[in-house]
Amino acid sequence: MGRVVVYYHKDSDTMDIWFGNPEDEVVCEEAGEGIIFKKDKDGKTIGIEKLYVSKTVGITDKPMPVEVVVA
């Protein structure tokens, strides 16, 4: 896997995690529990969107904790 990019959008309380090119997104597929798979034209998952991040994680006014693990 190459580069992974994570965006947190405070206004919409969503987080996008991209491991493919966001410009290649053509379809979204809801997986349940506030998770959406973002797919390219071949149906390959290139990103994941998490809805209601602060409510799910229990963060309201604190900085969001992020841990990066490279294996």
Q: Does some domain include residue 22?
A: yes
pTM for the full model?
A: 0.79
Q: Does some domain include residue 25?
A: yes
pLDDT (tens, 9 = 90+) of the chain, 71 residues, equals 578 888 888 889 999 999 999 999 999 999 998 999 999 999 999 999 999 988 887 766 666 667 666 65
How many domains, in total, are found in the chain?
A: 1
Instruction: Give yes or no for a contact between 49 and 14, defined as CB atoms under 8 angstroms apart.
Output: yes
Provide the domain limits for residue 11. Answer: 5-57
